Amino acid sequence: MSNFNFDAASFDEQYVYGAQRPGYHSSRPIPDAEVELWVEFMQQQGIERVCCLLEEQLSYYESDLLAAYKRFFGGEAVCSAPIKDFTLADEHLLTETILPFLADSVQKNEPVI
């Protein structure tokens, strides 16, 4: 089983993690089973929230990836903050969406990927 390059965001981080997207090495369209394997692995690691930074890659999936995340983690536990590959996050997106979601995850003691 893959570990999806799952790891903490920094050496002593307890709540914020990073990983490859579901089906990273799969051909398109990425089947729902790949998403389910990814979700199962993340839940086994104690992940309770998802901050999805995917943009054009969302079209790679057989079904709606964000809807799947919401189904498995709950609607309030999923943040979509699309960032174009190989670019930095827009300052507004970072300060108004991503960082508040991560801070809320830490405040609630809910690990986030």
pLDDT in tens, 55-79: 999 999 999 999 999 999 999 999 9
Assess contact for 78 and 49: CB atoms under 8 A: yes
Query: What residues form DSSP beta bridges with 17?
Result: 8
- Where are the extended beta strands (E) located within the chain? 7-8, 17-18, 50-52, 78-80
What per-residue confidence (pLDDT) applies to 1? 56
| All residues at 6 or more sequence positions from 85 whose CB lies less than 8 Å from its CB, including other chains | 55, 56, 57
Q: Which residues pair with 50 in a beta bridge?
A: 78
pLDDT of residue 27: 85
- Decide if 10 contacts 17 (C-beta within 8 A): no
Question: Is residue 2 very low, low, confident or very high in pLDDT (cuts 50, 70, 90)?
Answer: confident
pTM: 0.94
pLDDT in tens, 6-62: 999 999 999 999 999 999 988 899 999 999 999 999 999 999 999 999 999 999 999
